[in-house]
Structure 1
Amino acid sequence: MSDARATSFGAAADHYEAARPDYPFEAVAWMLEKPPHGSRRIADVGAGTGKLTRVLAAAPEAEIVAVDPDPSMLAKLRESVPGVPTFTGTAERLPLPDSGLDAVVLGQAWHWVDPVAASAEIGRVVRSGGALGLIWNIRDEGEEWVRRLTEIMHSSPAENMVNGPGSQGPRVSDPFGEVEISRWEWKRQINRMQLHQMALSRSYLITAPAEERADIARAMDGLFDELGLDDLEATIDLPYVTVAYRAVRA
């Protein structure tokens, strides 16, 4: 993990679970369809509260384990996706045996890892011909109000890696081969409270001083007033782009 922001999420596990979106099933299926013999034994690394884990666990005959460095996030995952074995660890240091998996996937997490060390370690636990899948849900800033929201909350390392100016996307190293990419556009109905929870689940706000968090909340409220989100029942369509990458182990 790269800095204190990378390991800050446990302090906001409830907000993360309540306000972060799940991943489209078709995007997750695409990440895992490349290995010629399928992907049954899968590790969700940087699993957090289980946003990606629950999609994986819905696949028939899937055997899933979840790995995260934060015990608070894993505790929330066990509530959200009961029955999935959980382990404390990172992409650079996995508590898993050699060549025991068909695939390793990371949701909203690769931007926090050392890509060379993580590629090598994941290559250790994935069989030859197995897959590495990386996926992010990124707000679609094609709409002005979404751009303004990001300006208020500040951009994240994920957004800068996947969708930032001049971004080359995630770096994946040996023993994995060429990285393929695919995208899905979709919208999610969200209310004012969930938007605030989403902001509070971001590493920038988790680690910011209380005064700055209050200033950001006030600016968000001003934007939401303009948008007509003036009661608990009002919702707005928040556009997303899900960006997924996959690579096969040599």
Structure 2
Amino acid sequence: MPTLPREQPEPAQPHQARRTAESFGTDAQRYDQARPDYPDDLVTRIVAASPEPAVLDVGCGTGIAARQFQAAGCNVLGIEPDARMADLAQARGLRVEVATFEAWEPDGRVLDALIAAQSWHWVDPVAGTVKAAQVLRPNGRLAIFGHVFEPPAEVAEPFAAAFRRVAPDSPFSDQPARRPLEMYQAGYAKIADKIRETEQFDDPEQWRFDWEKPYTRDQWLDLLPTTGGLTRLRPDQLAEILGAVGHAIDALGGRFTMHYTTLATTAVRADTP
């Protein structure tokens, strides 16, 4: 039975798990093509609620969210610790500075909005929130958002069983096949608590956007290797998991509909000195 190589486990806090956090650039092209966009209503709402169009995208990756904000008329600067992801984002026309948000030097720049799309869990929750307050102008908006990736049980359960079989030593192997929406909502509530602790923002709001996206077998198998639990697996481990999931999707007729929920925690920088 193949297993992950024995090595020191990464820290329990996501922002300290740097090997996983910076593993998505292994196949940046696949990530950019397979990962879904963000709801247009979310982008429109953030832009409309921001004082001006200068946006900082923390953990911009390949620029999926950034390009949507650019299309909405924003002037976007990306911050990305993985140079491979940053290179692709730059090739797509995004200005990117390679750094973690905690280490990034604003050099006196202030922003109208700060977004973090599917990336804030890789940022120190205390230092990151304090720094967000420092780089946002009064009445600037902080918006932290991400998708709930929970496919139907007919797909999720074979995936979980295969993952436990081929990578029992991975911390991801202990997760249930499907996690309830309430678990994700609790995570965004904790983000709101950290924002309140800074005493630099108005009371945070929680936004929710429900939408659907159909996937063929090949489309879902293209997306799966871009997710955090799979980016560091060996090719043989990945192939066994993808085979099990592909067989499950074939049993559904070769396609399924993903019911996405995109959650956001957002707050306005207080209008104080």
**Is the TM value for this pair above 0.5?**
yes
* 1:129-140 → structure 2 map (5 Å cutoff): 129-140=139-150
The alpha-carbon distance between structure 1 residues 49 and 161, as it changes in their structure 2 partners (threshold 3 A), is farther
1:109-159 CA-partner distances (Å, limit 9, x unpaired): 011111110011122211122111011122355x43354366356688xx9
- Determine if the alignment matches structure 1 residue 113 to structure 2 residue 127: no
Of 183, 206, 209, 2:234 maps to 209
1:58-97 CA-partner distances (Å, limit 9, x unpaired): 123x2111110011101111233x1x31111222122323
Give the aligned residue type for 2:90.
R
- 1:185 touches 1:239 (CA, 8 Å); kept in 2? yes
**Which residue does 1:70 correspond to in 2?**
82
- 2:47 touches 2:72 (CA, 8 Å); kept in 1? no
Q: How far has the Cα of 1:239 moved from its partner?
A: 1.7
* 1:215-230 → structure 2 map (5 Å cutoff): 215-229=240-254
Q: Normalized against structure 2, the TM-score is what? A: 0.78
- Give the greater-gyration-radius structure (CA): 2
Q: How far has the Cα of 1:215 moved from its partner?
A: 2.3
**Which residue does 1:237 correspond to in 2?**
257
Q: Normalized against structure 1, the TM-score is what? A: 0.84
* 1:136-215 → structure 2 map (5 Å cutoff): 136-140=146-150, 143-145=152-154, 147-148=156-157, 151=160, 163-164=182-183, 167-169=186-188, 170-171=190-191, 172-173=194-195, 174=198, 175-215=200-240
- 98-107 or 144-153, larger mean C-alpha shift: 144-153
- 2:159 touches 2:245 (CA, 8 Å); kept in 1? no
Aligned-partner Cα distance in 1 for 2:105–2:181: 28
1:144-194 CA-partner distances (Å, limit 9, x unpaired): 3354366356688xx979752782424233133422111111111222222
Count the aligned residue pairs. Answer: 237
Give the aligned residue type for 1:55.
Q
* 1:54-93 → structure 2 map (5 Å cutoff): 54-60=67-73, 62-80=74-92, 82=93, 84-93=94-103
Ranges in structure 2 where 5+ consecutive residues have no aligned partner: 1-14, 164-171
- 209-218 or 98-107, larger mean C-alpha shift: 209-218
Quote the RMSD (CA, aligned, Å). 2.6
Runs of 4+, deviation exceeding 4 Å? 152-156, 159-163
**Which residue does 1:232 correspond to in 2?**
none
